[in-house]
Structures are given as structure tokens and as C-alpha cells.
Structure 1
Amino acid sequence: MILNKKYFYIYFSLFFVSYSFSQETHVITKDSTKTEHLDDIIVTATRTIRQLSSLPLPAQIISKEDIKQSNTIRLNDILNEQTGLITVPDFGGGEGIQLQGLDSQYTLILIDGVPLIGRSAGTLDLGRITVGNIKQIEIVKGASSSLYGSDALGGVINIITETIKKGFKGHVNYRLGSFGNHDLSSTIHYKKQKLGMSAFFNRYSSDGYDLNKSDDLKTVDPFGNYTLNAKITYDFSGATKLFISNKYYNQNQDYVASSELKGESDINEWNTHLKLSHTYNKKWRSYFEFYTTQYKAKDYLDNEDGTRFSDSYYNQLLIRPEIRATYNPNDKNAFIGGLGFNHESLNRTYFSLKPVFNSPYLYLQYDGTPTKRLNIILGARFDNHNKYKSQLSPKAAIRYKLNDKLSLKSSIGYGFKAPDFRQLYFDFSNTTVGYTVLGYNTVTTAIPVLQSQGQIANMTIPISDFEGTLNPENSIGINLGIDYNLSSRLKFGLNFFRNKINDLIDTRVIANKTNGQNVFSYYNVNKVYTQGLEFNTAWRPTNRFKISGGYQLLFAKDTDAEKAFENGNVFARERPNTPTFQLKKQDYFGLYNRSRHMANLKVFYKIPKWHLDTNIRGTYRSEYGMLDTNGNTYLDKYDDFVNGYSIIDFAINKTFYKNYGLGFGIDNLLNFTDTQNISNIAGRIIYGKLNIHF
């Protein structure tokens, strides 16, 4: 019944679009004036201004227009609609991004080119980022450590906020939706002569929602947060310019663990970003950048009688100065180089000390166009570190234009992910269950203490194995792409990718405790890969109508698991109490929480004489496995899978008197929910929106 309903909506939508388009072509056989479709500009891929269409790297841009028309309010919502991207919830309730099958911890998230922090469990929650002041979102896929260092093993997502506009301008937006969702944002711009200022405010709150009515707990507890962002620009001259940005974020949320344990969680985040640029001549330009940010989170639980049951806290600080320069000897060649220093510290519950990471780095990149058809990018970055082995991250990319319609591009890069504070310094013992988790660097001091207390029955891994260092995870990422532009209005793109990760950090049992539980720690062991293809297309037959779509085919597997299946060492049973049988290599599905197929389709339509625009957007995710259900520790085709699903969103907007707008929409039109496996999809959301510009 659900599938029939789903197809009905899809067929209806396509019929509506086809009918509208046919009606338009009958009235207007040809646009009276052709609109120039200028190439989108991207800066993230090379840290210089580049045309997206000429880039030899797999990248895409989400424009402000698309964000505005879709009525999206949070970053995770808009990223879910992009090819090869899916947000997945973690155990703490946050949503991280999965890119080309790689976990969220391998994708670097930037705002205006500087990183966000606060990965308390490896995941950076994208739901805390509003899109109210976003100019565009730039996504670069593939290893990008050659420019951005650690955390860019799989790619980079850079949120570019609005630039300050001349004169005095601003807008106010308010959206009211299901589940008590309220989103209010306002921006004010002022720029005259040399001085520019802007201020942005956002307030977002929700009553939360409950997918499981059988208990007293909510899937997401009520919360409220606000974001403040102030910017100042000052042009000392045409050659020297100053940029200062300050951002503050706060969230307070109910924290209910059971009917007896209730409390609150609180997040405070701030950052300051200063950039001074100077142009010496047509060839040389330099930048000095200083960035500092702090992320603090704390929560507590109280018993029914008001006594404190638990407290936890997380306090991370990052300070980063950087100097970089660009050199353009001529129109065909460009160089960019930089030198910087990261100082990072973390103070949190279950740490025996306050660790500090210091890592100076330098990078250099060449971007050349030897001929009109050929573009080459070569770059490398060196990261030194006080706690792990230094890393050299090279990258090469090439694009060759066969003709005016067809181009080939290829890139290969090395990416790395440094061990995080938790993997090195965690010292946690669960008082209820009785197990212990130790960071790699904590084992040699914590185990003797547990032994002296009589808690260790035997060691399964000798302590001597922890006298070295935990290596960074590293990857070789390869992308091969084809761009085919049939015309300025119809474009196709195909990209083949493979990411091979070595020294994957995993957990293992290092000791058995006398209470029957275990001691766990981290180690380098697995080798995994993700590979597949991505297909994207965009068609704009008229200036009123745009349709785009994408598809990803993904294979994500553990090479050790593949060998175990190939050697006949893995067994399963189809049902409980039935005999086990040997599995074959083709029975191995792959890594958990990865779908073999993902697709999206988006249709945008404008009616200028009515000052109205509307769109319908759909995404599909095929089945995936969350855990091993037949006891062989691997995900095979005989395990239980989460069924595939589709999400369809609809929006319509109308402008009145140029400066006023009303919007209406339905997210998750088919009201899809999965009460057992998917906690970040609440159900159907109906909303209305008001926009005022001045």
C-alpha cells in the first residue's frame, strides 16, 4: 500500500510538471530574451576562486536560491537532498553526514573556510547549523587533506555565509510547523564607503517528537537554541581589507533518561574569525587569518527526590593562526601556499588529564592551464603533531576538455584522520554494567591501577602493545569523472570513486574483568574501502522550469571480512534453531548503515506574472543493515535489514509587493516513519512561512 501511494505521488508530480511545461510551450514558443547562465564560482576546492564547471575535482554547489525556494531551515535537511549524501543519527541524538559511504567523522565541516568543532562522539551535529544566513554551500568529494589536513579524509563541506550588502538592507523570516517547530531569523546589512556591518539572529525551538508510544520517553526531547552572528568589514584601501566575524550558539534541551531520571543538557559555542588581506600587485596577494573557537557542553540527571544522579561536561578549544599567499605569474598559472598552527585542548568527563594537541602545518598548491583544454592541479600539505606521526598529504587532479561539450577529469589524493582525544585519553567505567573503555594512551597507566584493585582477571592483549602510538587513519581517494553538456540548459555528470582506508581505528577487548565484563581499547586494524559511481543531471528547458536528479551506487566493505567469506570461515542460519550453513563471498553485504542505492529528484517551477514559485523534491534510500542478527559478526544477506524508503517534500512560495512573501510546504509528504531504526525522521511536517525584506 505504501509503495502504491508513493508511485502515485511521483506519477502525479511528473504529470503536473509535464502538463505545465506543455502549456508554457504553447503560449511562449521561445524565450524572447536568452538568459546568460553564468558558471557558479567555488572557492573550497582550491582555496582560490574557480569556476565550478572547469574544476577537475568532484564538487557541487547548493545555491541560496535553491535553499530559499525549498524553505529549508537547518543544514542537515538541505544536505539530505544531495547526491551521495545522507545524514545519519548517532547515539547522542545528533546528525552527521555520510559522504561516498564514509562516516561523518571523515568529512570536514567549515563555515567561511574555518572548521567547526564539538565532535563529542566523533559526529558533528549538523542540526545545530541554521541556513538563514547562508549564501551557498560548497561540497568537495574525495580526500582533501592536501589543503585542509585532518578530518578531510573523505571530503569537505564549506558553508559560505552572506556577504555584506551596500546600503541598509535586511530581512525577517518566520516559519511555524508541526511538532511545535518555530524558526525565526533576521539579518541586517549596512555598508557605506569603507565600512560594512551585518548582524544575524536565529531562534529555533521544537516540542520534540515521540516515535515509540510504548514507553515514557520521547525520541527527541523538547529544545530551544539561538544563533548570533556579527560581521564587520573595513577597506583601508582598494588593496588592504579587513574582515571580522563573531558567532555565538546556545542550545538548551530537556534530558529525560527514564521516568525516574530527568535533567537538562546545555551547549554553548562561540568563535571569532579575523582575516586581513593585502594585494601587492596583479601577481601577489597575501592573507593573515586568525581563528579561535570554543565548544562547551554539559548535562545532568537528577533522581526523583532531586538528588544528583550524574554530571558530564565537554570543553574543547581551538586556536588557529594562518598566513597564506597567492602568486599568479600569468593567466595560465597560479600558486597558493600557507603556513599555520593548530592549538587544541579538551577538558571532559572521564579524562584523567587535559590533553593538548599542537600541530604546525604548511601547504603548497599549483593550479595550471598549459593549454586551453588542459587543467592540472598539484598540491601537498605537511602536518606535524606532538602526539602522533607527522603526515604528508599529496594530491593531483587533471581535467581535459575534449570539445565544447565533453570533458574528462580525474583526481587522486591522500587523506588522513588523526586519532581524536577520546580514542587516546578516554578513561570510563560503567558503574551499572561494569565494563571499562580506555583510550590508547591511557592503557599503560590505567591497567596497573585496575590490577592493584583486583578488577583484572587476565590480559588478552599485553600492555607492551600500547607503548607505541596510535596511527592516524589514512586513505587514498580516487575519482574519475565525465562532464557532458549537451547545451547550456542540459548537463550530465558521471563520477566513479574509490576510497581505500588503512589503519582504521576500531575497538577490541584487551582484558577480562573479575566481574565477568571486559576492558576495551582502540587499535589500528581494519582496512576498508568504499567505491561506486555517482550520476547527476540538470535540465533547464526554460527560465521558469528546472529539473535535476542524481543517483549513487555504493559498495562499502571490509577487506578482512571479504577474505573470511572467500575462505569459507563464515556461517549463518536462516532462522533460529535451524542448522548453520557456510556463506559464500557474494553473501557478504558490506559495512553497516550503508545503502547500495540512493537517488534524488527535484523539480522547480516559477510563474513570474504571479510572483510564485513551487517545487517538489524526492529522495530514495535502499535497504541497509544496522547490526548483525545471525551471530557471525558480519553483515550478510541473511541478516535483518532496514527497509528502503522515500521522502517527498513539497513547497510553494508567493511574493507580495516585492518585499513580502508567504510560503507553505509539507516535508515528508508520505508521512514515513520507522519507530525502531530511524530516529531522525519525525513524520509529516506541515508548515507555513513569512518573509519580509527591507
Structure 2
Amino acid sequence: MSLNKNNISFIFSFLMVLGLTAQEKSDSEKDSILIENLDEVVVTATRTIRQLSSLPLPVTLIPKKQLQQTGVTRLNEILNEQTGIIMTPDATIGGGEGVQIQGIASDYILVLIDGVPVVGRSSGNLDLSRFAIGNIKQIEVVKGPSSSLFGSEALGGVINIITEKPVSDKISGQVSHRVASFNNQNTNFSLNQRLDKIGYSFFADRLSTDGYDLTPNQEGNTVNPFVNYTFNGRVFYDLSERLDIYASGRHFFQEFDVSPSTSEEKDTNLQLKINHNPSKRINLQYEFYYTNYITNEKVVDAGSNELLIENDFDQKLFRPEIRFNHTFKADHILTLGGGYNFENLNRSLFAETVSFDSQYVFAQYDFKPLERLNVIAGARFDNHSEYNSQLSPKISARYELTDHLALKGSVGSGFKAPDFRQLYLDFTNAAGGGYSVFGKEVEAAGIQRLQNNGEIATLQVATSELGQKLNAESSIGYNLGFAFKKGKISSELNFFRNDFKNLIDTRILAAKTNGQNVFGYINRESVYTQGLEVDVKYNPTNQLNLSAGYQLLFAYDKDKLKAIDNGEVFARDPETLSTVQLEKSDYFGLENRSRHTLNFKAFYDIPKWEANANLRVTYRGKFGLTDRNGNGLLDDYDNAFIDGYALVNLAFGKTFFKYYQLQLGANNLLNFKGNNPLATQDSEVLINPGIQLFTKLNIQF
């Protein structure tokens, strides 16, 4: 099944005609697109404005007030305090963190800014520490497969960063400076104004640090000293009552101090959006988006000044998209859309610049067949130049059992396309003994080149297998739960399961004459994650907000479970030194997953003193880093586990003279550092830098 460019052009034209020719049938009926202002409204889950409490999907909303009162400066810091969300480290120069949702790795989580995707996964992981939150209105996290609306990379969920819009006709803004441990300096400035038909906003942020070292007996820092800058400007213009235009530009620059090595990072995003309401029932959105992510990284031996690794990365994405919303009547909304992705990557580890292009269409119907039943059904079709076409359906429903209790559930599929690295990587690591890695599209030519040079000792796969197509990784996600809200208390219980197949893994293609291997990629792994999440919120007074969350997670490789059932997996008992056959209870699960995670938050406002305080506690249970006993899985006999630990964060804020706010706080108040079990004997490796104190002064105008 395929979709060509003529089909896409026809669909775009069809949607435009629908919007321009549709007539209003009844001006008196409720317009569900232009919804009145509501508390806790979200747009990511359905691509339309919806109240959080009415959604049939598991969604986490982080409001602006929480961002301000916690005193955090980066996206990864605030996400780590949410139920079912864990930050995982990135192994690249300078550190950084990705995100894990419901046990699903960072590679499979789509990250958006104002509804458009960010790029820059040089190693599969997207570093969330590069996103400043000083101008963010709210953060929305949709858990579970969301490819029915967002396509590839939304296999495990979506994080949407929504920035603020100007609302006042007076010039307003703020300037702030935050000082923290490790000489962490953060300064930001924002300015915005809305004048009748035109509005604008500007935001600038600077962050620098001396870094820190968790491995004092090893060369180099865990986080190197760095400085980064973020600039964001936006303009809003109402051409008429029915037509408005929005334009946005963002630029991020970061430089690490790793002399004599070098590491620079640049990220540019440009967005133009036209919003058209030809009638009260019809809404059309035309969107043009361009992004460019660049890294320049060179690893140099300090002694010999020899260039060991050069990793230049230049990725571009251009995406036009059109969306059409039609409100037939109250609570019945049809959404249609289509778009085109043009993407290319120039990377020093590739033989040449490579390009992707894809077309997609999607449809969704959000309706109420019964007064107490809301159903959302949708699907998306993606046609890609490098892999098989994908159809991603999803259906969600919410039924109000009583005025205070609702049952909600969803079933949907997700996918992730093979990335540039898995298709086109052509890399030989001279510094690492000469091993080679080839992407699927170049592995046949790469093996042939090595054979011609006499570098292949034995071929480990049949020649006919080289260059066979990789399939897109795919998943089916299930969520079922209850939502309760009455008076001062609200809670949600959600059971989830995510089944993955065709996950891309590495394999050995050949053995080289120097004793090293040649690696390639193959669809092989089949895994699942399942468990439950509980969130409880209690507001005993208007000033005190309490909340707690818990996740129970099981994450397993299905092939490993089958091997255990067949009695094929063994381990050595470190106490008895005897070899034992593993049982299911001995298999801990996938790496870097905790069985239990908890969080607790208390926010207290003191209006009389114009002050506030908050306490946030997160607990991450025991998790394993890697298989160390050679049986191919993480079991209870491995000595690669990090014990469970708690992080306690505290912040106080006080307003002076109406416009001046002073904030004091401590992250990791208990000074937890921990030890990494992979460290060699007598070589301490920590997993946390310890307590981090900060103070912040904010001036509003």
C-alpha cells in the first residue's frame, strides 16, 4: 500500500475546499472548537482543546505555577518528579538525560514544542536538559502509543512543551538570575505585549556551569563545564475575525569545555501557522515548520593530540501540514489532516548525505454516542521512502459511571521508523581496536569493501541476508483505569501494557582479521512493559495542595522468558559458587527499569506573607544496569544493581514590594550520592553529585 505525491496534493486541495465552502447551519448552537476558558485544558491528546478531567487517555499536565514554585530550570528536572516518568542518562559527551515513560525508553518518546517535533537524536536518545522552561505555559505528557496522530517516534508517548502567549496590552515581562551549586548560573529575560490585532513575545536564557565529576579516579568529568543560550521570539497577528497568523523562531547554542576536544551543539526551529475559521463550525490550520540540529564533536587524545573520533551531525527537517476540524454539533468533532516530511542528514560517520521523505494523512472523530460516554476513534497512514507503509489506529473511551467516578480506556498502535543511524552508519572505530558498524542500507557495500581490503576473516551471516530491509518497530498499547473526583480529593488508577515487536538490535555480521567484529542491525527483539499507575490529589485548604503517585512496572524480553521456560538459561550463584538453572522469578527484567517508583508533593501558599513553600520527594526502586554474568539477561545473580534511593527537593519563595521574588531551595536535600556497581575495585563511581543549593531573584515588570 502506498501514497504518492499526487494523492497528497488532492487531499490538501479537498480539505481547503471543504473549509472554504462550508456554511454555518445554526449560529445558536454551541461551538466546541472555540471553547471557553477552562482550568487545566490540554491540546496534545486530541489536537483539539479538551479539559484534562474529561479525557479518556492517560495524560499528565504540569502547569506554569508548579514550574515557577519548584525553581527548576530545565525540562528533565521537572519531568523526573512525575508519576511513571523516569530520567535516564545519555552516554554522549557532556551527559544530558532522556526520558522513560511506562518503562518505554527515550528513543520512542516524541518531544514537541508548541505541537511541532524537535530533532537531534545522534545516538537514539533526545537530551531533554537542553530545553529551558522559563517561558513555558504548561507541559503535557500523553502516555502510551500516539502514532495515530503524531506518527513515528510517538510509539511510547508524547511530551509537548507549550510556551506562553501575550495577553495584556501593556508591556510586561521579567528578568531573573539563579545561582546554584557547581557554579551553576542561569539568567533569563522575557518580554511580551498584546496590542489589539498584534502580539509579540521574546525570551532569552543563558545557563552555565563548572560541571562535576562522579568518577574522581578516572580521566574526564561526568558533566563537563558548559555554557548554552536559548532565544525564542514569537509574533501573533489577527488579519480578521476569521483569520490569524502566528510565527515563531527558536535558537539554542551550547558549547562544552572539553579541551583539547571540542563539542558544540546548535538547534534552530522556525514555525509559521495560519489559523482560519471560515465559519463557526469549521477550523482550518495551515502549518509550515523547519528545524535544523547541528553538533560538531571531536575527541582528541590529550597526550598525542591525535584525533580519535570526529562526529559532526547536521539534520534538517521541513514539514508542511494542514489540519481541518469540523464541529457537527456539541461534543462531535471531526479532525482530518495531512502533511509531508522532507528530512536529510549529513554526518561524518556516513559515507554521504542521506535523505528521507514521507507523506501522511490522519483522521479522528471525537463524539458522544451517549450522554455519559465519550469515544475518540482515529487512525493515521504514513508512507515512507525507506520502509513499509504504516497504518496506526487508536480508539479511546470514557464512561461516567456516576457524577464522581469514570471508567476510561484506550487501545492504540505505535511505530518508530528505522533512523538514519540504523540505515546508513558507516563507522570504523580506530581508537577502539578497529571494530566496524554498518547501517542496513550500506552493510553489503561495507562488507564488500572490507573483503576487498583483506580485513574479513569469517562471514557470520549469509550474503543474501545483507541489505535486507529493516521493518519499522511497532507496538500495541492498552490502558484501562478509573478516575475519581469529589470535593477536595481526586485520584486516577491506570493499568497499562505495551507490547513491542520488531525492535531493532545489533548483530555480528563478520569477524575481522584483527580480532574485532563487524556489527549490523536486525529486527529481532520482542518485549513488553506492563503495570499500574496511581495518582492522588488532596486539597485540604485553598492554600495547601498535596499529591502522591506510584508506579508498579514489569518489563521483560519475551525471548528471554521463553528461553527460561525451556531451561536454557543458567547463572553462577555467588554464594555457593554453583551453577543454577534460572526460573522466571530470577529474571529481574529489562535494564534501567525500576519495579517501584513513588513521588510525593506538598505545595503551600501563604497569601498573608506573599510567600510559598514546597516539598517534593521522589523514590526510585532498585534497578540493574547490565548483564554481568554472561547469560544475556539481567537476573538476581548479577552484581550490576543500584539500590533504591530517594531524592528530596525543597523550595521557598517570598515576594517583596509586589514585583520582586526571592527564592531559596535545595535539590537532593539528603545529599544522596550512591555508588555505581560497575566501578572497578577501589575505584569509586558515584551516581549523583549530592546536594545542590540554589537561590533565585526574579523581577517582574
Tell me the TM-score normalised to structure 2 length: 0.91
Matched, 1:367 2:366: yes
State the shift of 1:543 in Å.
Answer: 0.7
Matched, 1:109 2:107: no
Matched, 1:222 2:225: yes
Q: Select between 603-612 and 430-439 the one with higher mean Cα deviation.
A: 430-439
Matched, 1:186 2:189: yes
Alignment partners' CA distance in 2, 1:624 and 1:307: 38
State the shift of 1:306 in Å.
Answer: 5.4
State the shift of 1:94 in Å.
Answer: 2.4
SS in 2 for 1:562: helix
Q: Deviations over 1:584-641 (max 9, x none)?
A: 1221111011000001000011111000100000000011111112221111111121
Match of 1:277 among 275, 278, 285: 275
Hey, what does 1:500 align to over in structure 2?
499
SS in 1 for 2:187: strand
Alignment-mate amino acid for residue 478 of structure 1: Y
Alignment-mate amino acid for residue 357 of structure 1: F
CA contact (8 A) 1:99 1:154 kept: yes
Hey, what does 1:31 align to over in structure 2?
none
Alignment partners' CA distance in 2, 1:447 and 1:216: 35
Hey, what does 2:198 align to over in structure 1?
195
CA contact (8 A) 2:332 2:367 kept: yes
Hey, what does 1:20 align to over in structure 2?
none
SS in 1 for 2:65: helix
SS in 2 for 1:65: helix
CA contact (8 A) 1:89 1:679 kept: no
Alignment-mate amino acid for residue 681 of structure 1: N
State the shift of 1:448 in Å.
Answer: 0.7
Matched, 1:620 2:619: yes
Pairs within 5 Å for 1:199-598: 199-255=202-258, 262-302=260-300, 303-304=302-303, 308-432=307-431, 433-485=433-485, 487-575=486-574, 578-598=577-597
Alignment partners' CA distance in 1, 2:156 and 2:307: 42
Hey, what does 1:611 align to over in structure 2?
610
Hey, what does 1:150 align to over in structure 2?
152
State the shift of 1:574 in Å.
Answer: 1.7
Alignment partners' CA distance in 2, 1:344 and 1:318: 4
Alignment partners' CA distance in 1, 2:88 and 2:476: 24
Gaps in structure 1 of 5+ consecutive residues: 1-36, 257-261
Alignment partners' CA distance in 2, 1:589 and 1:305: 44
Q: How many residues align?
A: 652
State the shift of 1:682 in Å.
Answer: 2.2
Q: Select between 303-312 and 52-61 the one with higher mean Cα deviation.
A: 303-312
CA contact (8 A) 2:642 2:676 kept: no
Alignment partners' CA distance in 2, 1:213 and 1:269: 32
Hey, what does 2:97 align to over in structure 1?
95
CA contact (8 A) 2:588 2:634 kept: yes
Identity of aligned residues (%): 49
CA contact (8 A) 2:38 2:51 kept: no
CA contact (8 A) 2:603 2:614 kept: yes
Alignment-mate amino acid for residue 290 of structure 1: F
State the shift of 1:332 in Å.
Answer: 2.8
Q: Deviations over 1:298-333 (max 9, x none)?
A: 022444465655432000000000011100011031
Alignment-mate amino acid for residue 85 of structure 2: L
Alignment-mate amino acid for residue 656 of structure 1: F
Match of 1:137 among 136, 139, 142: 139
SS in 2 for 1:255: coil
Q: Deviations over 1:118-166 (max 9, x none)?
A: 0000001000001100000001001000000000001000000011122
Alignment partners' CA distance in 2, 1:269 and 1:416: 25
Hey, what does 2:681 align to over in structure 1?
none
Q: Select between 206-215 and 409-418 the one with higher mean Cα deviation.
A: 206-215
Alignment-mate amino acid for residue 403 of structure 2: D
Gaps in structure 2 of 5+ consecutive residues: 1-36, 678-684
CA contact (8 A) 2:214 2:687 kept: no
Alignment partners' CA distance in 1, 2:345 and 2:643: 40
CA contact (8 A) 2:383 2:389 kept: yes
Alignment partners' CA distance in 2, 1:309 and 1:348: 16
CA contact (8 A) 1:134 1:162 kept: yes
Hey, what does 1:50 align to over in structure 2?
50
CA contact (8 A) 2:564 2:584 kept: yes
State the shift of 1:675 in Å.
Answer: 4.7
Hey, what does 2:682 align to over in structure 1?
none
Tell me the TM-score normalised to structure 1 length: 0.92
Q: Select between 626-635 and 547-556 the one with higher mean Cα deviation.
A: 626-635
SS in 1 for 2:286: strand
Alignment partners' CA distance in 1, 2:226 and 2:42: 35
CA contact (8 A) 2:532 2:551 kept: yes
CA contact (8 A) 1:332 1:370 kept: no
